[in-house]
Amino acid sequence: MLSEENNSFSGFGSFSGFVRARHSPRAYLPDVVPAEVIREVLLDAQSAPSNSNTQPWNVHLVGGTALRELSAELIADFDDHGITPDFTTDYGSGPHPQRSVELAKKMYGLMGIAREDKEARTEFVRENLRFFGAPQAALLYVPAMGDRVRAAFDLGTYVENFLLSLRAHGYAGSPIGMVSLMEPTTRRVLGIDADQKMVLALAFGRPDDTSPVANVQPGRVPLAESVTVHGIEGLEL
């Protein structure tokens, strides 16, 4: 069992404190994450479980001029023809789209952007495509494996390890699904096979804590909204 003395999460108090304090900053400083740290993060990330150990994570790391060029192409394509996603972007009906709207309200509120200010909102979409100013990014693709659902799930386990490892090394990362809605741009710019589909981009670096969106607090639903208990006594949700 972890204790404050022997765990490796010193500064965070406990494993729970460490995991629950992770968040997605939306503003970064230009400082790069050193190559040796990135290597450790990659090793941590790929220790994730995957379906039958298939390890279907295809990761493209991009930084420096390559990231700036990619970002410029993403913004040019977005301004030219909007999003062109490989996968559907529909959140269905019910609580899920509602939660997404609540998050958007919170973020735009923090930035002082009014609901009717379409240009400012679009500019924030472009900020996603600038990787929130982060100096480095990981683009995560799934190969052609069935309907790709299992592979996409496996990428999720990889991503959480990636994000927590960055945090353990004093850095942070942010998932940016918006980048994946701009295919085939990244495949064209980086020369990636058409059968690779991007599920997610991760911006990473050192957060700019002076930004109003450095630490958005979106909250979580009560456990009883997502968990149903069958045959376990004494578990209060």
- End-to-end, the C-alpha distance of the chain in Å comes to 23
- Asked whether position 26 contacts ligand FMN by CB under 6 A, the answer is yes
Contact in structure between 13 and 4 (CB atoms under 8 Å): yes
Least distance in angstroms from the C-beta of 101 to ligand FMN: 12
Buried b or exposed e, range 213-231, using 16+ CB within 10 angstroms:
bbbbeeeeeeeeeeeeeee
d(CA 206, CA 149) in angstroms, rounded, equals 32
Closest CA to 35 of 210, 204, 155: 204
Q: Where are the alpha helices (DSSP H) in the chain?
A: 15-20, 35-45, 64-81, 95-110, 118-129, 149-168, 177-180, 185-190
- Binder to ligand FMN among 7, 15, 19, 23 (CB under 6 A)? 23
Q: Which is nearer to ligand FMN, 4 or 123 (CB)?
A: 123
Point out which span in 9-17, 21-29, 32-40, 57-65 binds ligand FMN (CB under 6 A).
21-29
Which residues in 158-217 contact ligand FMN (CB under 6 A)? 175-178, 200, 216
Beta-carbon contacts of residue 117 (< 8 Å; ≥ 6 apart): none
In the list 9, 24, 135, 161, the residue contacting ligand FMN (rule: CB under 6 A) is 24
Residues 118-157 that bind ligand FMN (CB under 6 A): 128
* Residue nearest to ligand FMN as judged by C-beta position: 177
Residues between 84 and 123 that touch ligand FMN (CB under 6 A): 103
Please, which residue, 135 or 173, has the CB nearer to ligand FMN? 173
To ligand FMN, the closest distance from the beta carbon of 128 in angstroms equals 5
Binding site for ligand FMN (CB under 6 A): 23-24, 26, 103, 128, 175-178, 200, 216, 218
